[in-house]
Amino acid sequence: MADLFFIGTGSGKTSATRNHSSILISTTNYNLLIDAGDGIPKAFLLHNIDFNSINGVLLTHLHPDHYTGLASLIVQMKMFNRKKNLDIYVNAELKNIVKDFLTSSYLYPDRLGFGIEYHSFSENILNEVSDEIKFIARENSHLASISEKMKNSKQSFSCSSFLITIGSRKVFYTSDVGSEKDLSLFDDNNYDFLISEITHVEPEVVIGKTEKENFKPQIIFTHYGDEDIRETEKFISNLNGDIRSRVILALDGLKINL
């Protein structure tokens, strides 16, 4: 038994009614949070999620709407007397940045009451989160332009997309992308679900991508602004029956049983 819960579906533009993009993967023995952007503790309260039910956090990249709520989330865990360790899965190039961010927020390991275990990942390596959750990361081009401009900087601009295996189901989560080419990062795999952002790539491009393949995954749009809702709903309603039945515009609070 596993499900996907969309805690937030918003873009980087803050919304008064929706949370920044974040997904909770829940299985029988592990709860994995994907991204923890600004306002994530309040989003937990709105959805009645127990702070201490989270076993691990997987970070896609370090834009504020994807990761800067991590410190606030850990503070709430401490205030609710967490005892079990928290796993943080982060690209190896970003690990020290995240550690420094937390210590700069005065979250010292010996004062939390629980441990933080960092799990560094690299491209194309299978990472086993639990018996039921595994993932492979691949670099996308979301931050490629700034990386090129800052090529003399020692800072990393890594941004990952993931192929996540949950039990017998496979999910391709694009995270934020740089171009439609990033939709092809896992062409060597069939997957049951494609969760794609639609701020940096158009919905019709995502649809077109799946129509070129030999399989028909469930398509879930997320990471979009409030101003995009009406137009995207209209776009979906105008799709033909077969495709329309496979496309969902995720709203905050959407739960999908796998």
Q: What is the DSSP letter of 131?
A: S
| 147-158 average pLDDT score | 80
Say what the alpha-carbon torsion angle 209, 186, 141, 96 is, to the nearest 10 degrees: 150
Domains and CATH numbers, the chain: 3-257 (3.60.15.10)
Q: Where are the beta strands (DSSP E) in the chain?
A: 3-8, 22-26, 31-34, 56-58, 86-91, 116-121, 127-128, 133-139, 160-166, 169-173, 193-197, 218-222, 247-249, 255-257
Tell me: pLDDT of 228 over 80: yes
- Judged against a pLDDT cut of 80, whether residue 17 lies above it is answered with yes
pLDDT tens string 175-204: 999 999 999 999 999 999 999 999 999 999
Q: What is the pLDDT of residue 60?
A: 98
Given a cut of 80, whether residue 154 has pLDDT beyond it is: no
Give the model's confidence band at 242: pLDDT under 50 very low, under 70 low, under 90 confident, else very high: confident
Q: In what order do the strands lie in the sheet with 56-58?
A: 116-121, 86-91, 56-58, 31-34, 22-26, 3-8, 255-257
